[in-house]
Amino acid sequence: MFPYLSLILWLPALGALALLATPREQHQTARSIALAVSLLTFVISLALPLRFNAADPSMQFVEQVAWIPQWGISYHLGLDGLSLWLVVLTTFLIPIALFATWNSIHAQVRYFQILMLLLETAMIGVFIALDTILFYLFWEFTLIPMAFMIGIWGSGNRIYAARKFFLYTFAGSVLMLMGIIGLSFLHRDATGAELTSFSLTQIMGDIRTGAFALEFGMEQLLFGLFFIAFAIKVPMWPFHTWLPDAHVQAPTAGSVILAGVLLKLGTYGLIRFNLSLFPNASEWAAPAIGILAVIGIIYGAWIAFAQTDMKKLVAYSSVSHMGFIVLGIFALNEIGITGAVLQMVNHGLSTGALFLIVGYIYERRHTREMSEFGGLWTVMPIYGGLALVMVLSSVGLPGLNGFIGEFAIMQGAFISPALGWGYVAVSVIGVVLAAVYLLRMYRETFMGEVNKPENAELKDLSGGEIGMMVALLVPIVVIGLFPTLFFAPMQASISEVAQAFRSVVAEGQ
Amino acid sequence: MISAVPLEWVLILASGLFCVGLFGALSRRHAVSMLMGIELMLNAVNINLVAFWRYTQPDEVGGMIFALFVIVVAAAEAAVGLAMAIAIYRTWQTVNVDSVDSLRG
Amino acid sequence: MPPEIVIPAIDVRVIAPMLTIFAWATVLLMVDLFMPGKDRKLTGYLALAGLAVTALVTLAVQPAPGTSRTSFSNMVVLDSFGTTLTLILLLIAAFSIAISINYLSYHNIEMGEYYPLILFATGGMILLGQSTNLILVFLGVELLSITLYVLTAFFYPRYTSEEAGLKYLLLGAFAAGFLIYGIALIYGGAGTLDLFEIGAFLNTSLAVGSAFPPGALLVLIGGALVLIGFCFKISLVPFHMWTPDVYEGSPTPVAAFMSVGTKGAAFAALLRILIVALLPFKIYWLPVLGVLATLTMLFGNIAALMQPNMKRMLAYSSVGHAGYITIGIMTAGTHGTESFLFYLLAYALANMGAFAVLITLERRGEMAWSVDDFAGLWKRYPLLAIAMATFMLSLAGVPPTAGFFGKFFVFAAAWEDGQIFLVFMGVLSSAIAAFFYLRVIMRMFMDEPVREVIPIFNRGLTITIGIAVVGTIVFGLLPTPLVSLVQNSVIALGVGG
Does residue A451 belong to any structural domain of this protein?
yes
Collect the ranges in chain A with pLDDT lower than 50. Answer: 504-509
* Chain C residues near residue B69 by CB distance under 8 angstroms: 135, 138-139
DSSP state of B96: B
The closest of C217, C114, C212 to C161, measured between CA atoms, is: C114
Sequence-ordered list of residues with C-beta below 8 angstroms from that of A366, at least 6 positions apart, any chain: none
Q: What is the pLDDT of residue A505?
A: 47
Contacts of C473 in chain A (CB under 8 A): none
Over residues C114-120, mean pLDDT: 94
Candidates C340, C486, C321; CA nearest to C397 is C321
* Ramachandran quadrant class, C74 (left: phi over 0; alpha: psi -120 to 50; beta: rest): left
Per-residue burial over A105-116, b if 16 or more Cβ lie within 10 Å, else e, is beebbbbbbbbb
Domain containing C266 equals: 12-487
Q: Burial, C38: exposed, middle or buried (Cβ in 10 Å; 0-12, 13-18, 19+)?
A: exposed
Contact C408 A175 (CB under 8 A): no
Q: Decide if B45 and C180 are in contact by the 8 Å CB cutoff.
A: yes
| List of chain C residues whose C-beta atoms are within 8 Å of the C-beta of residue B84 | 149, 153, 162, 165-166, 169
B90 within 8 A of C157, measured Cβ to Cβ: yes
What's the rounded Cα separation, in Å, for the pair C116 and A396? 76
Neighbour-count burial of B45, counting CB atoms closer than 10 A to its CB (0-12 exposed, 13-18 middle, 19+ buried): buried
Q: Could you read off the pLDDT of C257-269 as tens digits, one per residue?
A: 999 999 999 999 9
Q: Are A414 and A420 in contact (CB under 8 A)?
A: yes
The sign one gets for the Cα dihedral B22, B28, B29, B34 is negative
Question: Which residues 6+ apart lie within 8 Å of A446 measured at CB?
Answer: A373, A375, A376, A377, A384, A387, A388
Specify the pLDDT at position C2: 61
Contact criterion met (CB below 8 Å) for C329 and C270 = yes
A–B contact: 3+ Cβ pairs < 8 A? no
Helix ranges (H only) for chain B are 7-27, 31-56, 62-92
- Cα A492 to chain center, whole Å? 21
Distance, CA of A410 to CA of A430 (rounded, Å): 12
**Does C38 fall in a domain?**
yes
> Nearest CB to B87: which of C162, C192, C193?
C162
Can you tell me the distance from the alpha carbon of C408 to that of C393, in angstroms, rounded to the nearest whole number? 14
Within C191-251, where are the H helices? 195-208, 214-233, 242-249
Contact B69 C149 (CB under 8 A): no
Of the pLDDT bands very low, low, confident and very high (cuts 50, 70, 90), residue B3 is: low
Q: Do A158 and C446 touch (CB under 8 A)?
A: yes
Taking residue C431's Cβ as centre, other Cβ atoms within 10 Å add up to: 20
Q: Are the C-beta atoms of C369 and C442 separated by less than 8 Å?
A: no
Q: What pLDDT was estimated at residue B2?
A: 54
The sign one gets for the Cα dihedral C74, B75, C254, C404 is positive
Give the residue among C376, A256, C442 at the shortest CA–CA distance from A246: A256
A337 touches A409 (CB < 8 A): no
Q: In this predicted structure, what is the pLDDT of residue C334?
A: 66
A164: which residues sit within 8 A by CB, 6+ positions away?
Answer: A241, A242, A245, A246
Q: In terms of CA atoms, which chain C residue is nearest residue A189?
A: C416
Q: Mark out the alpha helices in A154-215 (DSSP H runs).
A: 158-191, 200-209
- Quote the domain boundaries for residue A306: 278-509
Contact B78, B35 (CB under 8 A): yes
Flag if C245 and B58 touch (Cβ within 8 Å): no
Contact C483 A136 (CB under 8 A): no
Closest CA to C162 of B30, B29, B89, B74: B89
> Within a 10 A sphere around the Cβ of A66, how many other Cβ atoms?
12
Question: Domain ranges in chain B?
Answer: 7-92
Mean pLDDT, range C352-371, rounded to an integer: 84
pLDDT of residue C497: 36
C368 touches chain B (CB under 8 A): no
pLDDT score at C333: 67
The CB density around residue C30, as the number of other CB atoms within 10 Å, is 10
How many other C-beta atoms lie within 10 A of the C-beta of residue C213?
A: 16
* pLDDT the model gives residue A506: 44
Tell me how close the Cα of C386 comes to any Cα of chain A, in angstroms. Answer: 12
Half-sphere exposure of C290 (CA within 13 A, CB side): 17
Query: Which of A67, A71, A174 is closest, CB to CB, to C427?
Result: A174
Is C164 part of any domain?
yes
Over residues C47-92, the pLDDT tens digits come to 999 999 999 999 998 888 777 888 887 888 888 888 999 999 999 9
Q: How far is C188 from chain B (nearest CA, A)?
A: 5
Q: Report, as an integer, the average pLDDT of C172-196.
A: 90
Residues of C with Cβ-Cβ distance to B57 under 8 angstroms: 191
pLDDT at C494 over 70: no
How far is residue C240's CA from residue C229's CA, in Å, rounded to a whole number? 12
CA dist., res. C180 & res. C193, Å (int): 11
Contact C153/B11, CB-based, under 8 Å?
no
Mean pLDDT of chain C: 88
**How far is C351 from C88, CA to CA, in rounded Å?**
13
Inter-chain touch B100–C163, beta carbons under 8 Å: yes
Cβ within 8 Å, pair C166-B66? no
Provide the domain count of chain C: 1
B7-92 to CATH, choices 2.40.10.120, 1.10.287.3510, 1.10.645.10, 3.40.640.10: 1.10.287.3510
Q: Are C207 and C213 in contact (CB under 8 A)?
A: no
Query: Is residue A249 domain-resident?
Result: no
Instruction: Between B92 and C334, name the one with better pLDDT.
Output: B92
In a domain, C6, yes or no: no
How far apart CA B63 and CA B46 sit, in angstroms, is 9
How many CB atoms are located within 10 Å of the residue C288 CB? 13
Q: Is the pLDDT of residue B105 over 60?
A: no
Helix (H, G, I), strand (E, B) or coil at C368: coil
> Does A37 reside within a domain?
no
Task: State how many domains chain A has.
Answer: 1
A25 occurs within a structural domain: no
Residues 6 or more apart whose CB falls under 8 angstroms from that of C71 comprise C8, C9, C10, C11, C12, C13, C14, C15, C78
Q: Are residues C387 and C464 in contact, defined by beta-carbon separation less than 8 angstroms?
A: no
Q: Chain A: residue nearest C379 by CA?
A: A108
- pTM for this structure? 0.92
Chains in touch with C (3+ beta-carbon pairs under 8 Å) read A, B
Cβ–Cβ contacts within 10 Å for residue B102, how many?
A: 15
Smallest CA-to-CA distance from C408 within A145, A141, A201, A71 is with A71
What pLDDT, on a 0 to 100 scale, did the predictor assign at position A288?
92
CB contact under 8 A, B81 and C173: yes
Closest CA to C73 of C141, C5, C128, C127: C5
> Which of A70, A151, A177 lies closest to C487 in CB terms?
A70
